[in-house]
Copies of this chain bind each other. A is one copy, B any other.
Amino acid sequence: MLVGFGRVRRALAGLLLERGARVAERYALDLRLRRVLTSRGVFDLPTGEDYYARLRALVEHGATFTPGAVGPVEAGGVLAGEVPVGQGTVEELLVGQVLVDATPTDLASGQPGLAYLRAALAAGMHGVALSKGPLVVGWEGLQELAARQGTRLMVSGATAAALPAGDTLVHSLAGAEVLSIEGVLNGTTNYILDRMGQGLPYGEALAEAQARGIAEPDPRLDVEGWDTAAKMVILANLAWAAPGRGTREGAVRAGAPSGRAATLGEARVAGITSLSPEQLAESRRRGRVVRLVGRALPPEGGRPPRIEVGPVELAEDHPLARLTGANKGVTFVTDLMGSVTVTGGESSPRAAAAAALKDIIHLYA
């Protein structure tokens, strides 16, 4: 089932329609969307022959949500793990084997996604997170629930849409120790820094980015570094506080959180709002490029991973220095495999949905 309100939800329904047959053939996996849950209510899909017709109608015409027996579900109700009186609980809304959380990100509360993911994992469902909030706020509790239930929490769409940052870390570097993580993970700041390097003051560069739909109307999460910090918290926890990964000092057992998960509150975060075009031009003259960089180091001495976000001058041959526009990238330094960098990956609702589809495939195939 799919919880969420926006474009990513529609894109994922579209992918399931368009790719369903191919996924079935290639991965021997018959994925069926059972239910879509939004603030407007509940939309159920049939399990029988008319499944694809109804899915097509949902994708092409949008849902006619049924505010009947269970809905509408208000965010306020979900926060407390409840829906309005007489409407049943979050638990009663769960169907299927996988819950995909595509709710808006709230880095302070993690809600409403956190309540849904908790309920789903507790009920023995797998969780696929597209929203950063629940992971940043509730990492250890969610991992503990998943381990206890023998289910999995997949997060590859929550760090940078289609950039396979989490997959590279967890899958491609399996068996090696991650010694540090460095990421350029925010397209909005890339754009603004590029324009400032061309002489535009911060305010004008931001206004231009907003006019082009690159920056949000409220750009604070991006330009003050919190979007990058949230992604780094998730990557740090995948590296050092997740089942199947460990720390320098010893392994973290599945289901036995270390108490050393990274949190946003302990990250040192600076944004790009106080930079001047002169500073950027000066860096350029010295053959260097300024990017908003997130860095993470492993937990040590009982402390959580160290996370720092801020503008950094990168040498021109640094593997992340070339990232412009929406392009993102992350470098993992390891003990056995050297340094591995992954860059690119489209940033769009469809690409984020593709990351969720991939996570669902990996749950089974």
Residues in chain A within 8 A of chain B (CB atoms)? 15, 19, 22-23, 25-28, 156, 162-164, 167-168, 171-176, 244-246, 250-254, 317, 319, 322, 324, 331, 336-347, 350-351, 354-355, 357-358, 361-362, 365
Contacts and interface: CB of A to CB of B under 8 A. Distances in A.
Nearest to A323: B319
A317 B28 CA distance: 40
A218 B175 CA distance: 33
Nearest to A161: B337
Q: Which 9 A-B pairs rank lowest in CB-CB distance, beginning with the nearest?
A: A338-B346, A164-B172, A162-B337, A336-B354, A25-B251, A167-B172, A26-B251, A340-B344, A175-B357
A167 B171 CA distance: 8
Identical copies of this chain, number: 2
A319 B344 contact: yes
Contacts of A19: 175
Contacts of A28: 254
Given A171-B167, A172-B171, A354-B175, A25 B246 contact: yes
A357 B324 CA distance: 35
Nearest to A27: B244
A333 to B, nearest CB: 9
Nearest to A253: B25
Contacts of A336: 15, 162, 346, 350-351, 354, 357
B246 A22 contact: yes
A340 B162 contact: yes
A206 B319 CA distance: 27
Contacts of A26: 244-246, 251-252
Contacts of A358: 172-176
Given A164-B172, A173-B164, A175-B358, A345 B351 contact: no
Nearest to A23: B175
Nearest to A321: B322
A183 to B, nearest CB: 14
A28 B253 CA distance: 9
23 contacts: A15-B175, A15-B336, A22-B251, A23-B175, A27-B174, A28-B254, A162-B340, A164-B173, A164-B337, A167-B172, A171-B171, A174-B362, A175-B354, A175-B357, A176-B354, A176-B358, A317-B324, A338-B344, A339-B345, A339-B346, A340-B345, A342-B342, A342-B343
Nearest to A342: B342
Contacts of A319: 322, 343-344
B162 A365 contact: no
A208 B317 CA distance: 24
A272 B27 CA distance: 40
Residue from A171, A361, A362 having most chain B Cβ neighbours under 10 A: A171
Nearest to A356: B175
Given A164-B340, A342-B342, 11 more contacts: A15-B336, A22-B246, A25-B253, A163-B340, A167-B168, A172-B172, A172-B342, A338-B346, A338-B347, A339-B344, A340-B342
Contacts of A342: 168, 172, 340-343
Contacts of A339: 344-346
A25 B171 CA distance: 17
Given A245-B26, A336-B15, A361-B175, A343 B344 contact: no
